[in-house]
Amino acid sequence: MEALPNNWSDVQPDTVYQTTDGLLVSFASEQIKLGIKYDQNGKHLKAIEKGEVAPRGNIGLVPSTEEGYDLKSKVLGKGGDRRFHAKFIDDVLHFLGLATEH
């Protein structure tokens, strides 16, 4: 299993990556395009790598408020106005390309 890259340009569509705490994640090509466009510093990838955290004051994955989605990436500071949403499909957290502003 491959480790999650630090840079969106290194992420391959529909490849399953494993975070340091064992979470399996994958990304649709649409999500990778959004990452390249809105997350040049890879903060969302770092948040995904960190895994689930308490919703307030933390960088990581928090519960999604979008219907049909399980988790969303949360970053703070510059670039923190967007959230990338994902849902579990066969035990893999799949980012399909839904980004919201909060």
Span 64-94, pLDDT tens digits: 999 999 999 999 886 678 999 999 999 999 9
Q: What is the CATH number of the domain that holds 72?
A: 3.30.2310
Alpha helical stretches, state H, the chain: 29-38, 43-50
Average pLDDT over residues 49-56: 95
CB 26 within 8 A of CB 41: no
Q: Domain total for the chain?
A: 1
Domain extent for 62: 2-101
Q: Go through the chain and tell me how many residues it has.
A: 102
User: Which stretches does DSSP call E strand in 1-81?
Assistant: 2-3, 17-18, 24-27, 60-63, 71-74
The pLDDT value given to residue 76: 87
pTM: 0.94
Nearest to residue 8, comparing CAs of 70, 56, 79?
79
Span 3-36, pLDDT tens digits: 999 999 999 999 999 999 999 999 999 999 999 9
